[in-house]
Structure 1
Amino acid sequence: MSDDREPLPEVLAGGDRRASLEALRTEIGRRLPGAADREAVGLTTQLRLILAELEALDTGEEADVVDDLAKRRAARRAGAADPGGAAGAE
């Protein structure tokens, strides 16, 4: 089977967000069937995020999705920086 797709690093370097997301989606789809359980969890999470971003591009909600992802990431990092969290404040 011949693979005529552009190599992933070249697609990413091209700067086209949609093309980059689609290339990442394809790469994850290629790796997922042979992934170990732990790796499959991470790949599946990334795939879900990529699919959400692609859908947002189609509906014009890209900024909302990106902003939401940034807020989630910041919240996770804040929680990691304060391992006691709210429970430690009692």
Structure 2
Amino acid sequence: MLMLTEEAHKAVAAISRSTVPSHLPGLRISRRADRPSFSVRRAVVPEETDQVIERDGARVFLAPVAALRFSDSVLDVRLDEHDRLQFVVRDAA
């Protein structure tokens, strides 16, 4: 199962907060349609076939291909050259 570093957990938990009680958004990881890579984006709800990972207020939705690919991986975050948050998935050490 995809694990989150402490920093990734904080970032995803912030994304997962909602002012609408009936919606608990999260971070969705899915394969891009236009190239052989994955996209990470905020999603209001998981899709029907998504694997949902929840821990202490952080929610990650994995599309089926992403769930399979990242089953033994770690989600982390870093700042890019413009100080924007960037999610990174790496193999578990």
- TM-score, reference length from structure 1: 0.21
Higher RCO (C-alpha under 8 Å, 6+ residues apart)? 2
The answer to which structure has the higher helix fraction is 1
- TM-score, reference length from structure 2: 0.21
